[in-house]
Amino acid sequence: MASKTAQKRLTKEYISMQKEPPPFVWAVPDEKNILTWNYLIRGPPDSPFAGGEYHGALLFPAEYPFKPPGIKMFTPSSRFQPDKKICFSMSDFHPGTWNPAWSVATILTGLLSFMLSDEMTTGSVTSSDSHKRTFAAKSHAFNLTQSRFRDAFPDFCTPTLRDLPNMGERERGKADTGSTSADTTLSQQMNLRRNNGVVQTPVATTAPITTDASNALTSTNKPVVPPGWSASWRQIIWEKWRWGVLIALAVVVSRLSAGS
């Protein structure tokens, strides 16, 4: 039976997994026992496991997160022995190196990374890339014959492979990045200003320059003033210089045109 700490922690991790699943992995706790989680790993593109679907289990101790889980993979993969515990740094083979800050997402991401390596350990097997590809091609059909797979993942019991919630699109550069979003926002702002009749001029990226009311602004960052404007108008605009100078210029131009 899970301790209160384990129950609370694993519940929180399930919520986190639902919101932000790691690339190529998915996991759900058993309905009757939260200490047992079924997971799916999908073989990443450009790997010998591409197109493969690998079902396994995380077996958490009642003392989790202070002790690590046991880890098994049920689907034949030509990398791990089916239904045998796998020894790697985040499993119960290495309690001395376990970090309580690690989570289900961390463990499965580490397992995927270990799966893609050639490191040998307890529970692993040696095989060629061609063998791994052969097993990958048969993996989904094998899973469909297993009652524990069907019980754990009814939504994935489809004739053909169904994508996991995160298939690594962002990691492969197929999703917008934060900088792109920022650039888009800036572009939209510039277009809005053009549509409002404001002429875009370079704006300094430093802090706004303040001046004494009796002195004219002499900064090299001042906007270009069209010839023919009166000195008084120029003086007023320069003294009111702030980050909103472009909007102020548009207002002045509009009023001057209306009065002529």
Q: Measure the CA–CA gap between 190 and 186, rounded to whole angstroms.
A: 6
SS3 36: strand
Q: What is the pLDDT of residues 203-248, one digit of tens each?
A: 333 333 333 433 433 333 444 444 443 344 444 434 544 444 445 5
SS3 80: strand
Q: In a 10 Å sphere around its CB, with 0-12 CB exposed, 13-18 middle and 19+ buried, how is residue 82 labelled? A: middle
* The pLDDT of residue 247: 52
Helices 104-116/4-19 angle, 10° precision: 60
Q: Measure the CA–CA gap between 81 and 78, rounded to whole angstroms.
A: 8
* The pLDDT of residue 90: 96
87 a catalytic residue: yes
Please give the order of strands across the beta sheet that includes 25-29: 25-29, 36-42, 53-59, 70-73
Domains in the chain with CATH codes: 4-156 (3.10.110.10), 196-259 (no CATH)
Please identify which of the residues 87, 116, 157, 161 carries the catalytic annotation.
87
Query: Among 166, 161, 78, 85, which residue's Cα sits nearest to residue 115?
Result: 78
Residue 152: pLDDT over 50: yes
Q: What is the pLDDT of residues 60-108, one digit of tens each?
A: 999 999 999 999 999 999 999 999 999 999 999 999 999 999 999 999 9
* The pLDDT of residue 169: 78
User: Which residues, in sequence order, are bridge partners of residue 53?
Assistant: 42
* The pLDDT of residue 250: 52
Ranking 2-6, 111-115, 132-136, 208-212 by mean pLDDT, the lowest is 208-212
For residues 207 and 156, which has the higher predicted lDDT (pLDDT)? 156
* The pLDDT of residue 255: 58
